[in-house]
């Protein structure tokens, strides 16, 4: 995330200057048209998606059309352009990011995008094992595979802590294995690349990682030992420009998305790696 921030800063310093002018220009116009059209509801919506989100959007598209919206999609390959396009007005709403990323983006780009509530889903982060079925079965000296990147290693350790397996020093924001205060089960940690962990699952007692990587490796992402409870701190949802935060159409999008069709899509197409917020 931090790297993202720096990249975003560098790459869009120029774009920002341009969009600042645009926003200033559009703000005036936008205000006028809004007043002029008054209560006339906006029904033609352009949605910004990331390539991996097309399937989930197609799952809710019929619902949106039933509700009277004409929807066109704009697909992006990265995680920055959908926000840039939103800022420039090329799309009206986007659906690909989670709250921490949005906050980071807003902070480093001076934007004020808002995620419309209710949020739609969160990515599953969990402990997987081929040796144990429940945490109590974890033996003394068990080997735990952790991700070797900062934020995922920290989430893995937090998962162990919330299940009472270790105790982390107080006041540490992003803990590492060196911040473990108590380790009564003498767990041994192996830090490896997240993409390597799924295929090494048989060689350790458990691995803790994002479900997506299990799914990518052709494993059952829903067959976890225990799920991280902080999943809901990384909710994804529809994001709009500040002036649309209270628009009815934006609310409709977020509400209509909470349907069985989307839940089914998460369970099948996404292998259960994405978890609906409303269930």
Q: Which residues bind another protein (CB under 8 A)?
A: 2, 143, 145, 148-150, 153, 169, 171-172, 176, 178-179, 190-193, 196-197, 199-200, 202-204
Tell the smallest beta-carbon distance from residue 255 to another protein (Å).
39
Determine contact, residues 58/76, Cβ cutoff 8 Å: no
Question: Which letter, b or e, does each residue of 97-121 get, where b requires 16 or more Cβ atoms within 10 Å of its Cβ?
Answer: bbbebbebbbebbebebbbbeebbb
Nearer to another protein, 182 or 203 (CB): 203
Residue 78 vs 149, nearer CB to another protein: 149
Question: What does residue 94 show for φ and ψ, rounded to 5 degrees?
Answer: -130, 160
Could you tell me the smallest distance in angstroms from the CB atom of residue 204 to another protein?
7
Residue 65 or 149 having the CB closest to another protein: 149
Q: Output the smallest distance, CB 172 to another protein, in A.
A: 5
Cβ proximity to another protein: between 26 and 192 the closer is: 192
List the one residue out of 185, 182, 184 whose CA is nearest residue 170. 182
The distance of closest approach from Cβ of residue 93 to another protein in the complex, given in angstroms and rounded to an integer, is 33
For the bound state, the minimum distance from the C-beta of residue 250 to another protein, rounded and expressed in Å, comes to 36
Q: Is 52 helix (H, G, I), strand (E, B) or coil?
A: helix
- Give the residue with the Cβ less far from another protein, 72 or 200: 200
| Contact predicate 191/148, CB 8 Å | yes
User: 113, 92, 110, 114: which is closest to 15 by C-alpha?
Assistant: 110
């Amino acid at each position: 995330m931090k790297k993202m921030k720096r990249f975003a800063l560098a790459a869009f310093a120029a774009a920002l200057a341009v969009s600042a002018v645009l926003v200033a220009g559009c703000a005036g116009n936008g205000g006028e048209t809004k007043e002029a059209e008054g209560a006339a509801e906006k029904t033609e919506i352009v949605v910004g998606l990331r390539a991996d989100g097309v399937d989930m959007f197609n799952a809710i598209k019929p619902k949106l059309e039933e509700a009277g919206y004409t929807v066109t999609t704009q697909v992006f390959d990265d995680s920055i352009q959908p926000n840039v396009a939103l800022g420039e007005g090329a799309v009206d709403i986007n659906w690909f990011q989670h709250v921490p990323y949005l906050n980071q983006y807003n902070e480093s780009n001076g934007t004020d995008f808002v995620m419309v509530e209710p949020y739609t889903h969160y990515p599953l982060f969990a402990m997987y094992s081929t040796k144990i079925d429940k945490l109590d079965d974890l033996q003394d000296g068990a080997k735990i595979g952790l991700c070797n990147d900062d934020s995922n290693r920290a989430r893995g350790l937090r998962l162990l802590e919330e299940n009472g397996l270790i105790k982390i020093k107080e006041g540490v924001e992003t803990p590492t294995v060196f911040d473990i205060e108590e380790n009564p089960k003498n767990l041994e940690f192996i830090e490896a690349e997240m993409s390597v962990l799924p295929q090494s699952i048989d060689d350790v007692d458990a691995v803790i990682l994002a479900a997506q990587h299990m799914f990518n490796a052709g494993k059952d992402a829903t067959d976890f030992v225990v799920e991280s409870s902080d999943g809901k701190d990384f909710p994804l949802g529809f994001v709009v420009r500040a002036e649309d935060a209270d628009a009815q159409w934006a609310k409709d999008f977020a509400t209509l998305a909470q349907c069985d069709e989307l839940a089914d899509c998460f369970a099948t197409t996404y292998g259960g790696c994405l978890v609906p917020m409303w269930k």
